[in-house]
Amino acid sequence: MANTASPELSDKSKIVAGVLQLFLGCFGVGRFYTGHTGMAIAQLCTCGGLGFWSLIDGVIFLVSNDRTDAQGRKLAG
């Protein structure tokens, strides 16, 4: 059976990424989830930018409609 998902749409959810980033952003979990390993390691090393970076990143994940995964595919709603 053919895949019915749009090829430009990721199998990752922006809501899951946002919630992970809000609660576990100091460990870069939201970024690891979306496949952005380099940014996740930077967040891990800086404790999520002392919490500010991870908080802002989490909110942007939740409210933005153009966030992408590491392959450039738009995150599902």
Residue pair 9/69 in contact by the 8 Å Cβ criterion: no
CA–CA distances in Å: residue 32 to residues 13, 41, 72: 13, 8, 15
The model's pTM is 0.86
> What are the pLDDT tens digits along the chain (77 aa)?
445 555 689 999 999 999 999 999 999 999 999 999 999 999 999 999 999 999 999 999 999 999 999 999 999 98
Where do the structural domains in the chain lie, given as residue ranges?
19-65
What stretch of H or E contains 13? strand 9-13
